[in-house]
């Protein structure tokens, strides 16, 4: 069966510090991968998605970037965090082929920028 991991689970970082969040998927090949941010009391905002290694699409201009160095690894980064980057970050995957759109989510990373 497929599983998705995210780490760290929680993170407290000062403003201006760098960020690296990692997401890995097991048990599948060529998945589509997604990064979402969920601000307190709000819905999910799609940040980035990827259909293959090195292929990244950005949904909103922001202080963040994403990379996909391996088929089942998706990394969310920032060079300098802002207070507004605080939130709950969720990684998700969906089957790359014969895909009807369902996505499966990881447990999330709670980021607090102080």
Partner 1 sequence: AQSVTQPDIHITVSEGASLELRCNYSYGATPYLFWYVQSPGQGLQLLLKYFSGDTLVQGIKGFEAEFKRSQSSFNLRKPSVHWSDAAEYFCAVGGGTASKLTFGTGTRLQVTL
- For the bound state, the minimum distance from the C-beta of residue 13 to partner 1, rounded and expressed in Å, comes to 18
Contact assessment for residue 18 and residue 65, using Cβ atoms and an 8 Å cutoff: no
Sign of CA dihedral 39, 42, 47, 49: positive
Do you find a cis peptide bond into 54, omega within 30 degrees of 0? no
**Shortest spacing between CB 109 and partner 1, in angstroms:** 10
Closest to partner 1 by CB, 14 vs 43, is 43
- Give me the least distance between CB of 88 and partner 1, in Å please: 8
CA angle 17, 89, 8 (to 5 degrees): 65
Dmax over CA atoms of the chain, in Å, equals 43
Whichever of 18 and 107 has its CB closer to partner 1, that residue is: 107
Q: Are 21 and 13 in contact (CB under 8 A)?
A: no
Nearer to partner 1, 11 or 46 (CB): 46
Q: Which is nearer to partner 1, 46 or 73 (CB)?
A: 46
Q: Which residues bind partner 1 (CB under 8 A)?
A: 32, 34, 42-44, 46, 49, 51, 57, 88, 90, 92, 94, 99-108, 110
């Amino acid at each position: 069966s497929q599983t998705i991991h995210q780490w760290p689970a929680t993170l407290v970082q000062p403003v201006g510090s760098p960020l690296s969040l990692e997401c890995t998927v097991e048990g599948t090949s060529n998945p589509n991968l997604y990064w979402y941010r969920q601000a307190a009391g709000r819905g999910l905002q799609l940040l980035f998605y990827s259909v293959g290694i090195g292929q990244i699409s950005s949904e909103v201009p922001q202080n963040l970037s994403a990379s996909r160095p391996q088929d089942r690894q998706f990394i969310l980064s920032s060079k300098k965090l802002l207070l507004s980057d605080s939130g709950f970050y969720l990684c998700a995957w969906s089957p790359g082929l014969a895909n009807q759109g369902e996505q499966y989510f990881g447990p999330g990373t709670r980021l607090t920028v102080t």
